[in-house]
Structure 1
Amino acid sequence: MELSKITKVEAFLRPLAMILLVATACLVGLDTQTKYIIYYNKTVTYRDLKALWVLVYVTSIAAAYNLLQLSRCYFSARYQENLKGSRKLLAYWSCFALDQLAVYITFATTSAAMEHSILVLTGMDDFQWMKWCNRFTRFCFIIGGSLLCGYLASFLMVTLSFISAFNLFRLYSPKQFLTLKSRQ
């Protein structure tokens, strides 16, 4: 596969990941539900669950990161021949490392929010935590949809991480461990 085709695939996948990340942040951040319970109105928002609060911020930062990487993708397609030697290698290593970091943090926060949401769904008698989803069903369904979007975005970011790994390791020789290919 040529580099230009790989760059096109990356330029296609990054906006999809951004859309899913923004959808996750918006669905979680804007989700509220108010119910009349006994003698007062109880409003449930993402601020009531700390894992959801962290998820909103992490997915927002990951979407901004993917926007920066998309602009890098655009400029590298135009000005790739200007980078030579150690600058090119440093650029590919930093993209690879940042892609890995973004994937791991996004997946971890989505999984933590999923775990917290399951506790809200099932409750825990030992800690006297009540089940929320039998009272706030719309809130729980929207959070479930947002977690699905978060996992899909994580999967797309894993694919993008594979692409950045390919872009990095194609510069190295297959015969000698971590030795750059000679220019011929």
Structure 2
Amino acid sequence: MDATKSEAFLRLATTLLLLMTALLVLFDSQTKLIYSSILRKATYKDLNALFVLVLVEFSAASYNLLQLVRYCIASRFMPGLIVSHKNLAWICFWLDQVAVYTVFAANSAALAASLLAVTGSSGFQWMGVCNIYARFCFQIGGALVCGYFASLLMALVSSISAFSLFRLYSSKHFLLLKGK
């Protein structure tokens, strides 16, 4: 399997994982009766980091889906564009870098906020909420695992993107284009 086909496969897997992460967080909720009279529902909107995570995951999935469409259209109608267009390779490389770092940062922020929700903070007199909303917390944990796995796959895609970019340059002269 060549680099472009493996990149397409990894982008498809990444898109599916990003969508799974976003949908798990988006549709996760749990309602509990607190103090025998107050009905409280836990959703992703209760924690700002989870709200941002949903937005970032959907954005990154959309970006990867657009890259897949670009790959499919270009491989069918303009096969040389995938292989040798220097400016497009630079744009894809930088956008892949931005996407992978943004997804990793959003997952890390959601993990930090979720850990605070699990453990609480005695200094602020915040109690841990996962003993009340256990199912909600387990589903968020599963979504975060999917998100980190998607980040790993995006890092692999970014590596392929870097390879596709830097193979256009000469190995003897730093950052000079190869002759035809």
Q: What are the within-5 Å matches in structure 2 for residues 9-158 of structure 1?
A: 9-38=6-35, 39-78=37-76, 79-81=78-80, 88-158=85-155
Amino acid at match of 1:54: V
TM-score, scaled to structure 2: 0.95
| CA positional deviation for 1:82 | 5.5
Distance in 2 (CA, whole Å) between partners of 1:84 and 1:17 is: 22
Identity of aligned residues (%): 52
Structure 1: give runs of 5+ residues left out of the alignment: none
Distance in 2 (CA, whole Å) between partners of 1:41 and 1:70 is: 45
Distance in 2 (CA, whole Å) between partners of 1:150 and 1:131 is: 23
TM-score, scaled to structure 1: 0.93
| CA positional deviation for 1:67 | 0.4
Conserved 8 A contact 2:74-2:81: no
Count of residues paired in the alignment: 178
| CA positional deviation for 1:76 | 2.8
Conserved 8 A contact 1:21-1:59: yes
Distance in 1 (CA, whole Å) between partners of 2:130 and 2:141 is: 11
| CA positional deviation for 1:75 | 2.4
